[in-house]
Structure 1
Amino acid sequence: MAEMLDECKQGEVGLDSRIHIMNDNGEIISSHMHENYSIPDSKQDRNGIDQPLDDWLPITQSRRGNSWTATFHLLCSGIGIQTLSLPLAFVYLGWFWGIMCLSVAFVWQLYTIGLLVSLHESVPGTRFSRYLQLSMAAFGVKVGKIVAIFPVMYLSGGTCVMFIITGGGTMKLFYQLLCGDHCSSKHPLTTTEWFLVFICMAILVSLFCPNLHSAALVSFLGAIMVVGYCTILWVVFVAKGNVEGVVYDPSEAVTSESGRVLSIFGALGIIAVAFRGHNVVLEIQGTMPSIPNRSSSKLMLKGVVGSYLIIAMCFFPLAIVGYWALGNKFPTNGGMLTAISTTLNYHTSKPVLGLIYMQIIISCVTAFQIYSMVVYDNLERAYATRARHECTKLIRNGIRIFFGGLTFFISLAFPFLPTIALITGGISLHLTFGYPCLMWIAIKRPPMKSVKWWLNLGLGCLGIALSVLVLVGAVWTCRGLVSQPRATPARASRDNAGI
């Protein structure tokens, strides 16, 4: 016992991912909590000591997280640039249904997060630290992989591509704002070159974050940035007041009956896509320790409550104030950033606009680390399973550079992805609103036709149906946007750069 305590003080033995049980003789027996994967649970390190595979992978390599780090991760990954388009949903829904749908979506996705947190350690001695693990445990190995692996990897990789396009484009706007018409550079960088600058920054940061827990400080910075620009935007709109002749009539936004119905589906999609991050909730909880008298679920719930109180204070004022200020004149492309740059009433000083741009850039770089960690984890798992040993530092850095290069080239091939964000988000929307409820039924097995059984079955089926409706509405909403020039925000920023 004394020797083990000495080793713990020296950091040679980690108690964060083990269960400690005292037997009848007073001896303490330590054992690893297994991760449910279809690959061997343990290997041997160079000293011949059994070591679980999860000790090698970025998601679960360090289990020293707490409720504070979970809060930072959830804030950084849960608030995105799509939040700035929430008032557009009110344009199609109106005051009552807009607030009602936003409230229902908030409660619904908060409920599904609670389900994921409770399912993390739902099987004794097993931790589901990845969304794919939980899907395989609930639906079976084959079906679980089919229904989850593509949406999870697509959502993680696709979100990183969106960060490159958004962050790189905002870098260009920030540069134009600072330089104005009298820029000393005769050869300004192109949009492609700004994408390259962004991905180089993101990869450089990832090289200093070997695992998800080590990115906690980065997430803390990102959380400050996202809360900062959301707050600044709605405060600016309150200070400036609403525009002259503002109208709050949804019937005037779309004239035809069929268009009005499809625009409602599109509005539901805008609200639903704003709530993201469910594909990294289990991964965030996987960074926490778990012992018999204090499971990771208790720590994670504290982080969820704290983070989503702050998220609510960002989402609701931004949506309500944005719609109050602009009404039906709210820009359909670019959201609040376009409004603050193009609307005469909201011409903003260069320092404030520059601060908003800078916060968006930093938030994209920091959130990139969380979503990319899911891809790193899968690639390193594939390597470690075949090589039968942990990834070397060279291999790990090579994987990060490879993924960064891949997302960079995808961003060049599909620079219009932010315009069709509803379509790309709708494909994986069931990960947020549908699958958690069905997985809870499959693992917990409540009495059939009980209240909980009907509730989760209904929400699960409704979540999958919502994903289909969002796709239909997104195609309609984005049909006219794809043909619009994407340079509108850039031109507006160039016009305001001399202010």
Structure 2
Amino acid sequence: MGEERYFRSEIALLNNSDATFKPPLSPLLIHIVPNGPIITSSEPQIPSQQNQHPKDAWLPITESRNGNAFFAAFHILNSNIGFQALMLPVAFVTLGWAWGTLCLSVAFVWQLYTIFLLVQLHESVPGIRHSRYLFLAMAAFGKRLGKVAALFPVMYLSGGTCVMLIITGGGTMKQLFNTLCDNHGEGTCNGHGLTGAEWFLVFTCVAILIAQLLPNLNSMATVSLVGAVTSITYCTLFWVLSVKKARPNNVSYASSLSTHHSTPLPNINDVLNAIGIIVLAFRGHNLLLEIQGTLPSNIYHSSKVAMRRSVTVSYALISMCVFPLAIAGFWAYGNQIDKGGLLTSLPQVHKMQITKFSMGAIYVLVIIHCLSSYQIYAMPVFDNLELRYTTIKNEKCSRLVRTCLRIFFGALTFFIAVTFPFLPSLAALIGGMTLVPVTYAYPCFMWLALKKPRKTSVVWCFNVALGSVGMLLSVLLVASAIRTLVVRGLPAKFFKP
């Protein structure tokens, strides 16, 4: 009787589940289908199977729910470890050893806490699985407010990250070509290389070709495994080679704040920029619910158990990459580190000490990881495009339609990358508006809205305080980024990658 009651309530609650929301690309006012189509059967339900709205099986995120804890760990590692972590030693130049390590530790624990909140909220109500971050925000904050708060951040963190990956991956392809062609610094075949835009096009074509082979998120477990292995490998190589080779001359570990300014405002701005580098090094919260959506669950076994195991293992590996990169990277270069982080400092400082093969291998690993990360960050956009199509046509996307949608997205991201090749210069500004709330603030408020703990309780006060500090941090980082752009200017070279 309990099983039947569960399944009846699950079918009833599907009217408010992911599948009956209008697509996120529709206008801000969202309508809930009051009596959405639900397939019922006279046959008894099997408790070990998960009852799912039929439209869920049409979309890339929820098309397959046969994943496991290993696949989820691969996805988390692929989406979380990235080239942003190579910038961490730059933050230590401003903060110094003690404050840099403290800020990095606080940011790591903070975002790990919000990740576990999201894991709990995925199945916060029996019978409903929130397999998309945007839909969880709408369920917690209300349809209109949730969409206003989360639509732009989530879309940018998917599509915008793909653009950044094109810029980074295409640029690394160019560096790889120049490294292989460079004959003792003579640059013998640089004149025969492709332009920056052409390298962007090569990267985008390869990325979209791979995307055509991946029908859904669960099917890209092998790609995520490759991305996870390559990212861990090149992160390890960066800090090991930096420590192994001789340090540059006149290395200093004194904080750059020791240079006195006439007013404290520049120092405050530098501190906020350094904190921004640290908090923006952690990403992937906008994909966590989607990854958990690939895991099976039923009335006896929740997906939360397997997901918690995946998060624990993957973040143990992430910590083994992030902390050595920051600490060893700062030890190796100190205040001599380039503003581009380890990705540019290593080849500049140790150009004559590192073999062409070693540097080329690192570039290959970075390129492979960028291609792998492109797939997982593009998947929510593919899901939204297909959701829009299935809502209009009321049918599953054919293979041709799916191919065309993905080619369209690839062409769009390529165009944006070529048009705005200076987008990495805006990472602090846009990241403060998008990644910081999604990662550090929204999960706390969504947990309060859906779990409804007793007001003034310790848990309630802690999450309110943490979420409020996250929103305040977002505002401060945006203000700091704007001031930095005003003071230093923006190298805006359109169509000149």
TM-score by length of 1: 0.87
Report Cα offsets for 1:47-78 as digits up to 9, x if no partner.
xxx96211100000000111101111011100
Instruction: Provide the secondary structure at the position in 1 that maps to 2:280.
Output: helix
- Maintained 8 Å contact 2:93/2:256: no
2:478 maps to 1:471 = yes
- Maintained 8 Å contact 1:162/1:417: yes
2:166 maps to 1:164 = yes
How many residues align? The count is: 461
Structure 2 counterpart of 1:206: 211
Counterpart Cα distance in 2 of 1:363 and 1:481: 32
1:320 to 327, 335, 351: 327
1:433 to 416, 419, 440: 440
2:195 maps to 1:197 = no
Counterpart Cα distance in 2 of 1:346 and 1:425: 36
2:458 to 451, 463, 472: 451
* Pairwise CA RMSD: 2.5
Letter in structure 2 aligned against 1:173: Q
Letter in structure 2 aligned against 1:367: S
Change (3 A) 1:153 1:297: same
- Maintained 8 Å contact 1:167/1:364: yes
1:37-48 equivalent positions in 2, closer than 5 A: 37-39=20-22, 40=33, 42=37
Identity of aligned residues (%): 49
1:13-412 equivalent positions in 2, closer than 5 A: 34=14, 35-36=17-18, 37-39=20-22, 40=33, 42=37, 52-180=54-182, 181=186, 183=188, 187-251=192-256, 255-256=260-261, 257-332=264-339, 334-344=340-350, 347-412=353-418
Counterpart Cα distance in 2 of 1:82 and 1:58: 27
Deviation at 1:252, TM superposition (A): 5.2
- Maintained 8 Å contact 1:117/1:285: yes
Deviation at 1:190, TM superposition (A): 0.3
Segments of structure 2 that go 5 or more residues without pairing to the other structure are 23-32, 41-51
Counterpart Cα distance in 1 of 2:201 and 2:258: 38
Structure 1 counterpart of 2:45: none
- Maintained 8 Å contact 2:178/2:187: no
Counterpart Cα distance in 2 of 1:172 and 1:251: 33
Change (3 A) 1:414 1:43: farther
Change (3 A) 1:345 1:179: closer
Deviation at 1:348, TM superposition (A): 1.6
Counterpart Cα distance in 2 of 1:249 and 1:148: 40
Letter in structure 1 aligned against 2:425: T
- Maintained 8 Å contact 1:340/1:346: no
Segments of structure 1 that go 5 or more residues without pairing to the other structure are 1-19, 491-499
- Maintained 8 Å contact 1:168/1:198: yes
Letter in structure 1 aligned against 2:199: W
Deviation at 1:214, TM superposition (A): 0.6
Instruction: Provide the secondary structure at the position in 1 that maps to 2:177.
Output: helix
Counterpart Cα distance in 2 of 1:449 and 1:186: 68
TM-score by length of 2: 0.88
Counterpart Cα distance in 2 of 1:454 and 1:430: 18
Counterpart Cα distance in 2 of 1:478 and 1:79: 27
Report Cα offsets for 1:417-441 as digits up to 9, x if no partner.
1122211211111000000000000
- Maintained 8 Å contact 2:245/2:353: no
Deviation at 1:242, TM superposition (A): 3.1
- Maintained 8 Å contact 2:197/2:418: yes
Deviation at 1:186, TM superposition (A): 5.7
Change (3 A) 1:112 1:31: closer
Change (3 A) 1:185 1:339: closer
Letter in structure 2 aligned against 1:166: T
Instruction: Provide the secondary structure at the position in 2 that maps to 1:290.
Output: coil
Letter in structure 1 aligned against 2:300: N
Report Cα offsets for 1:158-191 as digits up to 9, x if no partner.
1000000000000011011112246568642100
- Maintained 8 Å contact 1:430/1:464: yes
Deviation at 1:151, TM superposition (A): 1.0
